[in-house]
Amino acid sequence: MSFLGKEIRLSRLLNRKSGKLLAITIDHSIARGIQTGLIPIRKTLERIVEGTPDAVTMHKGIAEQCFGPHVGKVSLIIKCSSFSPYQPGFDTWVTDVEEAIRLGADAASMGCIVGGPEQPEQLRQLGLMAKQAASFGMPLVAHIYPRGSLIEKKAQYEWKNVAYAVRAGAELGVDIIKTSYTGTPDTFAKVVEACPARVVVAGGEVGNSIEDYLKMTRDIMDVGAAGVTYGRFVWEYAHIPELIQALKFIIHENGSYSDAVKLLKDLVGSRG
């Protein structure tokens, strides 16, 4: 029965047409401090859902208080761990798979930072979470980055380090692995090749414009990514629903970068 449960939840989580994932994360406040776009959390969530991504990732308390009006419109992913501004190299459990199921989630999500002295404990926790998820038939998403203190900052985006991170998640039974973009399609193709699980890309800081993010999205889809899990650059943008539509056009309709830029401009213009 647990295998059927995972199949059912994945069918709700992944886009029916493309089999890919466009998720938006609003789990930043514990990890990175209060950010302007997430202060009016109900309004921000409403604008995200208006764009109809496949899923939204959030912590349990925000789900309890804010997600109710949006039930059935997008899938819910419950974030089960977090780092903090004071412990940036360590994700700790803040809930578990059973509570994510109680909240109606279609997936549980956990962070894991490799390349630091905390890595052994991080991997132990991720392995236990994967065991929990499997026993309940719950898809597991992991946010895995090679940014521990033993890795120089400039090396955090090198493909071998990113490939190590995502492969570690696959080795431990993670279904969907979110990680950093390596900067070029050729290098990211090597990351995807190294990981038998689905690999999706975080937004991070890849450029100075929305066009840079749309270009990255097209590039990573061209080399086999399973989608994206974006956060800040989406909900800090003035036209959230329109941007999500442009991303959906690339990810689910296989649209070109140039056509996505045009679509975004047209949608924003039509709103006035």
Alpha-helical segments (H) within the chain? 2-13, 28-32, 41-50, 60-66, 97-102, 119-136, 159-171, 185-193, 210-222, 232-235, 240-253, 257-271
Torsion of CA 245, 247, 251, 253, to 10 degrees: 40
- CB-count burial class (<10 Å; 0-12, 13-18, 19+) for 131: middle
Active site residue 145: yes
Asked whether residue 205 carries a pLDDT value surpassing 80, the answer given is no
- Furthest-apart CA pair in the chain: how many Å? 52
DSSP state of 196: S
Active site residue 259: no
Q: What is the pLDDT of residues 126-143, one digit of tens each?
A: 999 999 999 999 999 999
Question: Confidence band (pLDDT; 50, 70, 90) for 208?
Answer: confident
Question: Confidence band (pLDDT; 50, 70, 90) for 2?
Answer: low
**pLDDT at site 206:** 67
**pLDDT at site 197:** 98
Q: Is 14 left (phi over 0), alpha (psi -120 to 50) or beta?
A: beta
Amino acid, res. 215: K
Catalytic pick from 178, 181, 219, 248? 178
How far is C-alpha 32 from the chain's CA centre?
16
From residue 151, alpha-carbon distances to 92, 113, 115, 200, 250 in Å are 20, 11, 6, 22, 33
**pLDDT at site 1:** 45
Question: Confidence band (pLDDT; 50, 70, 90) for 57?
Answer: very high
pTM of the model: 0.96
Catalytic pick from 20, 27, 157, 219? 27
Asked whether residue 272 carries a pLDDT value surpassing 70, the answer given is no
Dist CA 27 CA 193 (whole Å): 29
Catalytic pick from 20, 54, 145, 157? 145
Active site residue 262: no
* Summary mean pLDDT of the chain: 96
Q: Is 107 left (phi over 0), alpha (psi -120 to 50) or beta?
A: beta
pLDDT, average across residues 231-249: 97
pLDDT, average across residues 91-111: 97
How far is C-alpha 216 from the chain's CA centre?
15
